[in-house]
Amino acid sequence: MEEFREKALLMAALAVLLLALVCVWLLMRNLGTAEAERFVDAQRVFAQGGCI
C-alpha cells in the first residue's frame, strides 16, 4: 500500500508539472513572440534581484 501511495504522489507531481508547462506554452502562444521575450527578459532581471 505504501508503494502505491508513493507512485500516486509521483504521478500527481508530474501531472501538476505538465499542467504548468502547458499553461506557460499557451501563455507564450497567446502573447506572441515579442511579448513572450519581453516577459522572459523581465523574469531574468527579476531573478537576478534587479528592478523591472
| Chain segment 16-46, per-residue pLDDT in tens | 999 999 888 887 777 666 666 777 788 788 7
Domain ranges across the chain: 2-47
Give the integer Cα–Cα distance in Å for 31 and 26: 9
Averaged pLDDT, 7-13: 93
Q: Are 35 and 29 in contact (CB under 8 A)?
A: no
- Angle at the Cα of 29 (from 40 to 13), degrees rounded to 5? 75
